[in-house]
Amino acid sequence: MRRGIVHTLTFLTIGQAPRPDLSEAIEAHLPAATRVRHAGVLDGLTRQEAELRLGAARGRATLLSRLADGGAVTLDAEAVEAGLRSRIEQVEEEGADVVVLLCTGAFPGLRTRRARLVEPDALVTGYVGMVLRGSRVGIVVPLPAQIAEARKKWRAFTPAPDFTTASPYAEDDRALCAAARAHVDAGANALVLDCMGYGSRHRQALRAAGVTVPVLTPGSVVGAALGPLLS
């Protein structure tokens, strides 16, 4: 029997690594022999340093992530993309065969020399466009400031989705449940939680709150797509 290829896969977060809460849904689909590593754009930085170098700026696209101490941090999307370029170079030099971004933001300038780059933004929008075509979809993003960018991201989807906000890093799930109910009450027959911070815990919370429509989280989509490619 031919042995399977052993891949080295690096999960790359825009915050600080490791982020098993983001990667666990993907890891569940990986071959057992896969070597998994974690890296982050903000690794080694204090909160003050992170906010000084990559903090959100008024009027610019923003992203939400988490530091090693569990605290959330709001970041400037362009600064994050520059940080990702640098970290991708580093993890490739360290032997990564596959680099999986743990963020659903769009980063059109990212490239790799050798490794396969997996961008959840493209996977999730493509998947939703195929399996939910014609559906009334409600999309939840972490921050109100992200809605304008989210509308651009999902502009090709018809009918046009509605958007609500709820942070995946909140102390409880009340805001998320309220956001989901608002979509369902408006006629949505599927929900997309558009941030890698949302995971199975959030889906379970919605089910416990009586939300019965399909709930898609990025990690489950990425894992289902990536696993067969590494087997």
| Residue-range domains of the chain with CATH | 8-118+220-230 (3.40.50), 123-218 (3.40.50.2300)
Look-up of token digits 């466009």: 129
| Residues contacting 48, CB < 8 A, separation 6+ | none
Query: So what's the pLDDT on residue 80?
Result: 98
CA distance 152 to 135: 18
Instruction: State the distance between the two ends of the chain, measured CA to CA, in whole angstroms.
Output: 14
Amino acid letter for position 123: L
Q: Is the dihedral of CA 206, 207, 212, 214 positive or negative?
A: positive
Neighbour count for residue 225 (Cβ, 10 Å): 17
Neighbour count for residue 121 (Cβ, 10 Å): 17
Helix 174-185 to helix 200-208 angle, to the nearest 10 degrees?
70
Amino acid letter for position 185: D
Query: So what's the pLDDT on residue 4?
Result: 57
Residues of the chain with pLDDT under 50: 1-2
Cβ 107 vs Cβ 81: under 8 Å: yes
Query: So what's the pLDDT on residue 1?
Result: 28
